[in-house]
Every structure is written in C-alpha cells, then in structure tokens.
Chains A and B, each alone.
Chain A
C-alpha cells in the first residue's frame, strides 16, 4: 500500500457462513479489503454478493444463523502506535459494544426500520451520548451547575438541591471512571497476552474476558438514586446537556428547526428527514469510520442528492473514513475514492474509482459497467447473461465463470488469486496472471 495512506481497517480471508435449513450459505468466500484513513471506500455489487455481510462481519453484528468462521479483522484506531491493531474477532462483546456507535458507526438502508417508533428523536440520538459520552456529559453538566450555584443567592433553598445533584453526578462520574480504568487495564493485559498464546495465557485470557464482561459502572449512591423516583430528578441537568448536544448536532446536519424536531417521533418525519436522524445517531460520537449500507436506496433522487451531498460534506469536515455500500454504480462514481467490486462472496476487483471506470479488468466489472444505461445510451444495452448463483452450491473455481464471456478451462477448477495488476489496482481473475500474491 502507498505510504501516504494509513490503513484503518483490514480484513483478510474472511469467511462468513449462514447455517440454514437448506444448507450452508457460503456468503463470504475469503474477503480481504483494506479501508484507509481519510478515504471514502466503496463496496459495490449486486444483491447477495456479500457486501452487507462483509460490513456486518466487520462490526461483528452477523445475525444467527450466520457465523464468522475464519479470517482476521484488524482495526487500527490508534494513529501513532501502528503496532496496536485491534483484533476484532478476538475481542469480547463488551469491548465491541464500546466501539460500535462510538469509533465505528453505521447507517442503514431503511431509516424507517432503523429508528425505534416509540422513542422520540431526542431519546434516540441522545442514546449515543448516554452510552459512549456519559462522562463528558456529566463533566459539562457539573460545570454548568457550578456556574449557576455561584451566581445564585447563598441561602436559597434550591441551593441544597443543586448540591445534592452535583454530589450524585460526581459519584456517578467516579463510577464511570473507575469502570473505564478497569476495562482499560484488562484490555492492556489482554493485548499483552495476545503475543504469548500458551495454555496458561489462554486460560488467563478467558478469565480476564469474563471479568470485563462483568465490569459495570458502579457508584453505590448514584446507582441507588437512579432508581428512586424522586431522587432521579438529579439526572435532569444531564438530560438538558444531552438535549443541547443533540440540537446542536441536528443543526449542524442542516435540519431546519432542530428544537422542534427533537420532540418528534419517527413516523412524523419524512423519509429524507428520518435518514438524517439516522445519520445524526451515527455521527453523535464522531466516529472514525462511518459505514453507510445503501443509505439512499429507498429514497427519491432529489432526496438522495441531499443525503449524498450531506455525507460528502461530513467527510470533508467531521468523519475520517466512510465505507459506502451500494449497488448503484452512479453513486460510486460520485462519492467514492476507491472501490471494491464484489461478486457472490468474492472480491473481484479493487481500484481507484477513476481506474475502475476507465479500465475495468475483471469481466464482471466490465459487464456491470456496460449494463447500466448511460446518459447518452443509444445502442442496445449489453448485459451479463444468467443470474447470481445460489451460494449453497456456488460454482466451483471462480464463482463468476458460468456467466463469464471470457471463461477458460482453469476458471472452472481453481479460484483465481488476487494480484496487483498495476499500482493499486487489484484483480482476481485468471486472465491476469500476476506475481500470484494472493
């Protein structure tokens, strides 16, 4: 890889299978992709090509009967210390929960389904702050309370209330900090253990993992107060702080009249607005990587243009990297820097957008590009014959060979290795025998 770009996430030889009644659906057949810091990376393909499964594996949210069977996913969150990659498949569920929605977040195709119909916009966007930024929220609230207290009359009866609030909040923050410290320490030990994988270390790792799953924020007084109806009012100032943040966030996303919108429920909003709320939830904690899974497929063209423009803006200002999944080659051309084309669970080709559209190497990519109607389409559309294969019994060798116009004998026998055909242009096809750098 080029030196200017730093890897953010890397998957190698990922196999994810779905164990259904009909048989094992081999959804991912050794997928290796690299998302760099600061780029918009596209994942294109038709339905069933595994693009969604890839990102779900990446976030470790594959639903049963799906299972990630083998492969590696490494996340490099720490910019300076490159050696400290996070092995996503080795980590505990608790750890993944702390990453999801905070460092990596995701927006979904169907905003109506991604939002909870019985919670207001404030509750849903605020949830991200509550889960991942509570400490910051408390600190800000405390500072606010302090300011108000000094401004107020010394003997006001409300002063006692404020002092109680402040005390409880401090207790809660201490609890959170202790928990964070504990989790951090265990993480560190786990990391150190990863190098020495002997039996003893493994057993120790197990117990550490279990320990951290049990570790929960605890702060005696505050945890009781949180459940007592009258005392629970101490949380009000935090809610006000969260509300302030949510309104600010919505305003920065160009949502008109955010004070009003936060009180609404999803069904009161239009599809485009719902998608903006979903984006707001994803952006609340300033993720390093934003995964957009067909974010505009169910929206109208004019609304799609709004959302795409918004994502591009955000890419310039807020988020480091975007992983953009779509089946629309037009969108890829508009949004992405680099693209991977997937077919039936295989990576066919990876290149910069310009390269890919100018000189597609893989016959599937070429066919796909040719089958989209162009603005100046005159002649008959060329098409790829046949249909996407059933992944329970995928074709042997190269999975594209039954539909491939340039099929050779070897294609039916052997899965083609991925080779770097030209600089930064990778392709998996027997037409391009390279240095066999699989």
Chain B
C-alpha cells in the first residue's frame, strides 16, 4: 500500500470582499486558487513565494485553522483509493461525481468534523513565525507545552509533567524552565517552546510557518539544526513555508514555488536551484543576496509588484512581469506539466525555450 501522507487536490481559499452599506459580496480575494500538492512521509517540502502568494493560507487550510472554499485534503489515505475517488469526481456523469463526493467524505480532512477532526489534530501540528505571538503570555511554559496533551486528554494528569520535561529536553531546554513565563525567554528559546508544544502529541506532520523569520541569524542556525535533528529522530514530515530561499535550500528535499495562489514550479531542491525552469523561480533565485562578495552574479530584476489577487491577470498570472512573455501567455493559463522527469513539474508555456 503506497500512500502520501498529505495529498491536497484542487484546494481553493477565497476571502469574500464585501462592499456598500449592505455588506454585499462584491469580489473574492483568491488567496489560494487551485493547488495540488502531495507530501510523502518523512520528507520536508519547502513552500516558497512572496508575501500574498497564499503560502501561509495554504498551510493553514491544511491544518483546518480556517476552512478551504473548495478542494480535498487527504491525510494518510491510500493512494489507489484517492486516485479512484478523484477519477470519479472528474468524471462527466453527475451520478458518478455524487458517488465520488460521498466516498471522499470519510477521507477528506477538509470535511471532517468533531471527534474525527480531533483525532487527526494529534497527527498534525504547527509552529508559527513569531513565538512572541504564538505563546499565550499569561501561561507558564509547562502549561503551554502541556496544552495539546490536556486538551485532547492524551496523557493521564499525573504523567503530564513528566512528558513535558521530556519534551523540553528534546528541544534543548531544561526543567528549570518549566515554571516561567514566555516573556522571560529569548526569541530562540521561545521558538523552542513552540516546537516542544508541536511535538507533544507525537505528530506525523508539522506545518512550519516561517519558523525562523523572526529570529536572529545566529539563533536561526540553532533552530534549523534542531528541526533537522527532530525530523530524523521522529520521522516527521514538514511543510516548510518561508520566503527565505537559503533556509529552504538547507532544510527541504523538495521545493514548491507559489505565485498568486498557484504553484508555478515543483521539484527536488537541488535541481531547482541548479536549473530553475519557470521565469519567476529564476528571478526569485537570482534575487537572493549571496553572502560572498567575490561572486557577482547577474541579477534578474523583476519590474512591478505582485498583482492584486482579487483580480489576477488573465492567462499566465506572471505574464505582466515576465521577460519572455508571448501572446499565448496573455490568453491561456498554463497548467503544471511534468518536465525533465525526476518529479519536476512547471506551469509555463515556454519553459522548454527559455
């Protein structure tokens, strides 16, 4: 039985924009607009893109921190079953589609409720960007780390403290830190606390939502190394959301590049860095400041800003900023297609030529 740990299909998240005094629905912010993404067990997938591209929204939808507008999220489901259900959903006959919807109901994380969802919460966890905001300032460290255990009643009350000590030790903190408030810690230590909390339920999958962006350079290295170590130790699967490309390069096996709610390129980290196919990926990679004054690389400076996701450009969403734009890019939206083998996909009409 082969399975992907997480398999996201056609996920959409629209935020309604209301206007006028009657709060009428006037438009949608299409934060995530049709994303397919699969994570194999034990891998770290880096999700990169600029602010507003929908990477955080996608992550939070997978965690059900908000409800996706449409699409399916399969968690620990058998690949063959997923494929057959997806085939039914795509079929032209309405009765077949209805059967698919009924079948997917039990498998789709996006439609789970109550105890089924709670049971899955055990296996899915999250670490947020800024530990100052993600730790309740009025709770002691021991209560913060114990929260998932207590909330889901996973451990007997008298065993909680032992488990918390164990978790703190795992992330490099000591029992001295139990009875303290978050504000008594440095940024790096706070992030360790957040990581300990995420590990409390022994999850399979952790969403890393820019976990090092709020940290100093020297501390960032500590946290990155810790995350790597934990991944090996507990066979964790990470979805690592970040805008920092060198961090993603260091920690992830595969990279997905997002632009305006869509994935434009996906592939193994090393290959994407060596030979980016999509013009946007190329610009993104060339824009990284390299900490080495000796190498002067040619930079691709993109003009303009990321367009408004309420009204994305027609055709290829990147075309207004793309240097290789042709007529077809303005009219037809490119789909993700397999490129060069080796699990690489890219959504560009002209990737072969440029």
Determine whether A and B are in direct contact in the complex, meaning some CB atoms lie less than 8 angstroms apart.
yes
- Residue A272 interfacial (CB < 8 Å): yes
**Among B187, B247, B293, which residue has its beta carbon within 8 angstroms of that of A354?**
B293
A384 lies within 8 A of B218 (CB): yes
**Among A302, A305, A328, A381, which residue has its beta carbon within 8 angstroms of that of B224?**
A381
- Residue A136 interfacial (CB < 8 Å): no
B218 lies within 8 A of A374 (CB): no
A47 lies within 8 A of B302 (CB): no
A344 smallest CB distance to B (angstroms): 12
B 276-320 contacts with A by CB, 8 A: 283-284, 286-294, 299, 301-303, 305-306
- Interface segment out of the listed A98-106, A118-126, A164-172, A329-337: A329-337
A276 smallest CB distance to B (angstroms): 11
Closest B residue to A384 by CB, please name it.
B218
B 45-72 contacts with A by CB, 8 A: 50-51
- Interface segment out of the listed A70-78, A180-188, A363-371: A363-371
Interface size on A, residues (CB 8 A): 45
A303 lies within 8 A of B292 (CB): no
**Given the contacts A302-B287, A372-B291, A273 and B305 also touching, CB distance less than 8 Å:** yes
- Residue B131 interfacial (CB < 8 Å): no
Closest B residue to A403 by CB, please name it.
B218
* Residues of chain A contacted by B293 (CB below 8 angstroms): 333-334, 353-354, 357
**Among A301, A303, A369, A370, which residue has its beta carbon within 8 angstroms of that of B305?**
A303
- Residue A69 interfacial (CB < 8 Å): no
Interface size on B, residues (CB 8 A): 40
B218 lies within 8 A of A46 (CB): yes
**Among A309, A357, A382, A385, which residue has its beta carbon within 8 angstroms of that of B299?**
A309
Interface string of A293-313 (1 = CB under 8 A from B): 000000011111110110000
- Residue A377 interfacial (CB < 8 Å): yes
B217 lies within 8 A of A387 (CB): no
- Residue B95 interfacial (CB < 8 Å): no
**Given the contacts A300-B243, A372-B291, A383 and B51 also touching, CB distance less than 8 Å:** no
**Given the contacts A368-B217, A371-B220, A387-B189, A377 and B287 also touching, CB distance less than 8 Å:** no
Q: Measured between alpha carbons, how far is A229 from B221 in the docked complex, in Å?
A: 62
A330 lies within 8 A of B290 (CB): yes
Q: Measured between alpha carbons, how far is A331 from B294 in the docked complex, in Å?
A: 13
- Residue B188 interfacial (CB < 8 Å): yes
A375 lies within 8 A of B273 (CB): yes
B217 lies within 8 A of A372 (CB): yes
A333 lies within 8 A of B305 (CB): no
Closest A residue to B219 by CB, please name it.
A387
Main secondary structure of the interface of A (DSSP, over half): helix
- Residue B245 interfacial (CB < 8 Å): yes
B230 smallest CB distance to A (angstroms): 14
Q: Measured between alpha carbons, how far is A329 from B291 in the docked complex, in Å?
A: 5
**Among B246, B287, B292, which residue has its beta carbon within 8 angstroms of that of A304?**
B287
- Residue B332 interfacial (CB < 8 Å): no
Closest B residue to A270 by CB, please name it.
B305
Q: Measured between alpha carbons, how far is A327 from B222 in the docked complex, in Å?
A: 17
B343 smallest CB distance to A (angstroms): 21
**Among A272, A354, A357, which residue has its beta carbon within 8 angstroms of that of B291?**
A357
- Residue B186 interfacial (CB < 8 Å): yes
A334 lies within 8 A of B51 (CB): no
- Residue B216 interfacial (CB < 8 Å): yes
- Residue B228 interfacial (CB < 8 Å): yes
Q: Measured between alpha carbons, how far is A8 from B301 in the docked complex, in Å?
A: 32
B302 lies within 8 A of A374 (CB): no
A305 lies within 8 A of B302 (CB): yes
B302 lies within 8 A of A357 (CB): no
Closest B residue to A389 by CB, please name it.
B186
Closest A residue to B287 by CB, please name it.
A305
* Residues of chain A contacted by B222 (CB below 8 angstroms): 383-385
Closest B residue to A390 by CB, please name it.
B186
Q: Measured between alpha carbons, how far is A232 from B218 in the docked complex, in Å?
A: 58
**Given the contacts A373-B247, A373-B250, A387-B219, A301 and B50 also touching, CB distance less than 8 Å:** yes
* Residues of chain A contacted by B18 (CB below 8 angstroms): none
Q: Measured between alpha carbons, how far is A46 from B221 in the docked complex, in Å?
A: 13
B289 lies within 8 A of A333 (CB): yes
Closest A residue to B189 by CB, please name it.
A387
Q: Measured between alpha carbons, how far is A133 from B273 in the docked complex, in Å?
A: 49
A305 lies within 8 A of B299 (CB): yes
* Residues of chain B contacted by A384 (CB below 8 angstroms): 218, 221-222
* Residues of chain B contacted by A270 (CB below 8 angstroms): 305-306
B186 lies within 8 A of A371 (CB): no
* Residues of chain A contacted by B202 (CB below 8 angstroms): none
B50 lies within 8 A of A383 (CB): no
**Given the contacts A300-B306, A374-B246, A383 and B273 also touching, CB distance less than 8 Å:** no
Q: Measured between alpha carbons, how far is A372 from B288 in the docked complex, in Å?
A: 13
A263 smallest CB distance to B (angstroms): 19
Query: Among A327, A334, A370, A373, which residue has the most Cβ atoms of chain B within 10 A?
Result: A373
* Residues of chain A contacted by B287 (CB below 8 angstroms): 301-302, 304-305
A 266-282 contacts with B by CB, 8 A: 270-273
B221 lies within 8 A of A327 (CB): no
* Residues of chain B contacted by A369 (CB below 8 angstroms): 291
Q: Measured between alpha carbons, how far is A423 from B72 in the docked complex, in Å?
A: 64
A305 lies within 8 A of B245 (CB): no
Interface string of A314-347 (1 = CB under 8 A from B): 0000000000000111111110000000000000
- Residue B249 interfacial (CB < 8 Å): yes
A 22-56 contacts with B by CB, 8 A: 46-47
Q: Measured between alpha carbons, how far is A353 from B186 in the docked complex, in Å?
A: 30
A371 lies within 8 A of B306 (CB): no
A383 lies within 8 A of B221 (CB): yes
- Residue B225 interfacial (CB < 8 Å): yes
Closest A residue to B296 by CB, please name it.
A334
* Residues of chain A contacted by B218 (CB below 8 angstroms): 46, 367-368, 371, 383-384
* Residues of chain B contacted by A354 (CB below 8 angstroms): 293-294
**Given the contacts A270-B305, A333-B291, A301 and B225 also touching, CB distance less than 8 Å:** no
Q: Measured between alpha carbons, how far is A337 from B303 in the docked complex, in Å?
A: 27
Q: Measured between alpha carbons, how far is A357 from B295 in the docked complex, in Å?
A: 12
Closest B residue to A335 by CB, please name it.
B289
- Residue A388 interfacial (CB < 8 Å): yes
**6 pairs, CB–CB < 8 Å, chain A vs chain B:** A300-B243, A301-B245, A327-B217, A334-B289, A383-B218, A384-B218
Interface residues in chain B, defined as those with a beta carbon under 8 Å from any beta carbon in chain A: 50-51, 186-189, 216-222, 224-225, 228, 243, 245-247, 249-250, 273, 283-284, 286-294, 299, 301-303, 305-306
- Closest 7 pairs (CB-CB, A-B): A330-B289, A371-B221, A300-B50, A387-B186, A46-B216, A305-B287, A383-B221
Interface residues in chain A, defined as those with a beta carbon under 8 Å from any beta carbon in chain B: 46-47, 270-273, 300-306, 308-309, 327-334, 353-354, 357-358, 367-375, 377, 380-385, 387-388
